[in-house]
Chains A and B, each alone.
Chain A
Amino acid sequence: MILRAYVLLFVIFLISPILAISIGSLTETSFVVFPPQGISLKWYFAALEQRALLQSLAFSLVLGAISATAATVLALPLGLAIVRFSSRINNAVYLLAMTPAMLPAVFLGLAFLIGYSWVGFGGSSWPLIAAHVVMTVPFALSLILVGLRSVDGSLELAARSLGASQFRTFVLITLPLILWSLAAGWGFAFLISFGALEVSLFLSTSTTVTLPVQIYTTLDWSPLDPTLTAISSGVVIITLAVLVITARTVQMDRFLKRGRS
């Protein structure tokens, strides 16, 4: 009973800033207040007229999709190599792929900035894509590993003994069995890229601005601008949608069983 009450308080704590943004964005005043004064969608329409905000939103969506796809493509062979062959080198490989999630974000951001500027940015978005791929590989990989470890090898052995090639076995047996973990890995990689601020802050140029960078820089000089709340609650909606879809494809408690790795 006490636990239930505490859980309720905790949930309120977790969702209160999100509620503050989404409900506060309905205000009619020219600055954000909570609770809102009056109810209107006028700031949503105002946000739709801000080209810079919309452009950065589109840029972030595309960047997230490209990075998540590339990260999944890189993580799948890594996961297969780690699970399907026992070698000490695998530990080092695992560490290499997972450390981007552990290193301080500004350390990574500065390393990418200095490293990639060797080749030159030229106002293009390749440095951001490259950085986001490195950053999201750990999330894609850890989910793919959960998926691969849950596959019963006997199905694949049966396919092989019936004459299927290694490639055919992979496409017809393994891939369908781990598809959910690929989808979930992609979803998480997308969300990490979509929400990333620090690394993007180092790599953004005037033509390549992600939405978090745009919100952050605007927040710095006009903190209570209601168009920002409107666009932020748009972000929350996108995030929630991807999260719910991801959660539906994965039974969430599979995460808890990953203990032994």
Chain B
Amino acid sequence: MHKYALSRRGWLLLLIPPLIVLGLLYLLPVFNLIRISFVEYDPQVGIIPNYQLGNYVELLGDGFYFEVLWRTIRLSLLTTLFCALLGYPIAVYLIRSTGWRQTAMFIILLMPLVTSVTVMSYGWLILLGRNGVINLTLAGLGILDTPRQLMYNETAIVVGLVHVLVVFMVISIAASLQSIDQSWIRAARGLGASPATAFRTITFPLSLPGLRTGALLVFVLSMSAYATPTLLGGTRHKFLSYLVYQQAISLYNWPSGAAMAVVLLISTTVLLFISSLYAQIGAMRANLRTSKTGTISGSMNAGSET
């Protein structure tokens, strides 16, 4: 493919107008939010432009806040795990299927993503409620005598989150499966590897980057989930996002809400950083192993970590 390039002037002319718009509408408010998280707030006076760490210190001393933060992290990790386990086979199917089956699968996968979360949560409300299908079925089978409340608990939150987020996992894994050179697998099979061995030693290691991208997306999105946990978890199982909204809108305490929003962002970023560090250590180990044994699977492993 030939390279058709812009002149430097053309490049600048194209870049500057959208950058001004994004700067004004996006960057400025974001930096302003971070600034506001450091100002003082008094219920009587409102915002006092006096920069300090009070809002953050207050959060650190709040047990309820920590409980909510911990729930958010814990359920997000669970959601990520379930998305990976449930989504992997679907990605394999997506790659193998062709034509209308593939298109239909794509549309079905994208449905939960583009349909409003409120609408989706509402659907779960109908299914999991006391008069919902699941209760009726269980009662019909004689497993339950009285309808049980299946909503408003942490399981319902995870079900709802996996449902809307699993598509990110499937598409990420499918993208990395797609890029695998099929001749590697044919070679392995030709040399006598069983399909299971070929999968374990070649396909799976090479799909790890996709798995990682998917996990990253799912984790970030479920950390910041708002509607699903609020509607499916009820008042007793709040997520951090809900606290931010409550502080800022119901209590009108912008600085405290801003501090919470910043903590939400930072804790997500820190957890991602730890996981990427862990992946790098894994890659280093794999490299060491390769230099010792020099097996094909070892070098493939290392290649996939980059």
Contact = CB atoms under 8 A, between A and B. Distances in A.
Interface of A: 3-4, 6-7, 10-11, 13-21, 24, 32-35, 74-75, 77-78, 80-81, 84-87, 93, 96-97, 100, 102-116, 118, 130-131, 133-134, 137, 152-154, 156-157, 160, 166, 188, 191-192, 194-198, 201-202, 211-212, 215-216, 219, 223-224, 228-229, 232, 235-236, 239-240, 242-244, 247, 252-253, 255-259
Given A20-B123, A20-B126, A152-B2, A77 B174 contact: no
Contact of B10 (A7, A34, A166, A243): A166
A191 B115 CA distance: 8
Contact of B126 (A34, A104, A106, A253): A34
Given A97-B22, A153-B1, A153-B2, A78 B14 contact: yes
Interface string B1-37: 1111110101100110111011001111110110010
Contacts of A201: 226, 245, 249
Interface in B69-117: 86, 89-90, 92-93, 95, 102-103, 105-112, 114-117
B124 to A, nearest CB: 5
A77 B14 contact: yes
A104 B261 contact: yes
B241 A104 contact: yes
A259 B179 contact: yes
A216 B227 contact: yes
A166 B32 CA distance: 40
B117 A197 contact: yes
B185 interface: no
11 contacts: A10-B90, A15-B108, A81-B6, A96-B22, A102-B220, A106-B245, A114-B29, A194-B116, A196-B116, A219-B121, A236-B119
Chain B, interface size category, equals 35 or more
Contact of A7 (B28, B93, B220): B93
B176 interface: yes
B178 interface: yes
Contacts of B171: 255-256
A209 B110 CA distance: 25
Interface of B: 1-6, 8, 10-11, 14-15, 17-19, 21-22, 25-30, 32-33, 36, 86, 89-90, 92-93, 95, 102-103, 105-112, 114-127, 129, 131-133, 163, 166, 171, 174-176, 178-179, 220, 223-224, 226-227, 231, 241, 244-245, 248-249, 254, 257-258, 261-262, 264-265, 268
Nearest to A215: B118
B89 A7 contact: yes
Contacts of A130: 25
A41 B265 CA distance: 45
Contacts of B115: 18, 195, 235-236, 239
